[in-house]
Chain A
Amino acid sequence: MNEEDQDRQLDALFAQARSLRPDTSAAEFAFETRLLARLRAREETTSTQGLWAMVSWRLLPFFAVCVVGLTLWQSEIDSETDDAATIAGLNNPVAADLWSN
């Protein structure tokens, strides 16, 4: 069969397929009701997620201040620990000996 014949056959099949549109009336029945139910469910999820996102963004400065505060407090503790260790080392004759050598 040549290309022209195949094209003619294809066109005939397309015409046949066009005339036999699937009946979707059963699928369409009460579609609006199902759609609205889904939209409501989705809106509830979206609003919960949106609320959480909004709260987390609003709390961001607070968290940032907490992190900075904790970092400063930690460095303060570290420096105090270092001083105490130095003093303790100098009062210890063995350590002081090692230090001078």
Chain B
Amino acid sequence: MVSAKSSPPDEQLVDAALSGDDQAFAELASRHKSRVFGVASRFARDAAELEDICQDVFVQAYFKLRQYRRDSPFEHWLLRITTHKCYDYLRKRRRSGSVISVDAMLESGYEPSAPQAPAPHPDLERLHAALAQLSPKERLVITLLELEERSVQEIADLTGWSAGNVKVRAFRARAALRKLMENKK
């Protein structure tokens, strides 16, 4: 078992987890959960969905730990999984038809994304409702670019899309957001 006091590097914890030490993996989760929760909270609708996304991220990381090639920090690898999981949830939501119009969302007292969100501001509510109307790809790109302040190259690395593709999607997402916000006025 790995001692928490010595705070070994991530790679050492990965080795320990691979040799069957679940506490080492728990330590990895403890170290990186804030980043994962932070990103996922931009996409989750409520606390239950946030928990589901984060658990899915770490469960996948656990079972695919052997695929971590150590050519980049463990956190990057974990954030790539997080990005893909968030995208999967957005797609699942879109497929299940649970995307409703901006008006309907605001009338029903729509609560932007995650649990314990700060006091709602009308304009911010409008932004979140409009973001929820975008396609999963557009929503993912614009959220990572504008809310998480990731560069185009970073988004390309996280999603596996080309930088050009990311730029095009960001441009389209912005245009769609402008239109949605304008319609809501």
Whether chains A and B associate is: yes
Chain A residues near B (Cβ < 8 Å): 1, 3, 6-7, 9-10, 13-14, 16-18, 20-24, 26-28, 31-32, 34-36, 38-40, 42
Question: In the complex, A7 Cα to B58 Cα: how many Å?
Answer: 37
Q: Is B78 an interface residue (CB 8 A)?
A: no
B residues 135-185 with Cβ under 8 Å of A?
Answer: 146-147, 149, 174, 177-178, 181-182
User: How many B residues have CB within 8 A of the partner chain?
Assistant: 37
**With A6-B181, A14-B147, A24-B38 known to touch, is A34 a contact of B55 (CB < 8 Å)?**
yes
* B178 close to A35 (CB less than 8 A): no
Chain B residues near A (Cβ < 8 Å): 22, 25-26, 29-30, 33-34, 37-38, 41, 47, 50-51, 54-55, 58-59, 62, 113-118, 121, 123-124, 127-128, 146-147, 149, 174, 177-178, 181-182
* A21 close to B29 (CB less than 8 A): no
* B178 close to A3 (CB less than 8 A): yes
Tell me the minimal C-beta distance from A69 to chain B in angstroms: 41
Question: In the complex, A93 Cα to B55 Cα: how many Å?
Answer: 83
Tell me the minimal C-beta distance from B152 to chain A in angstroms: 16
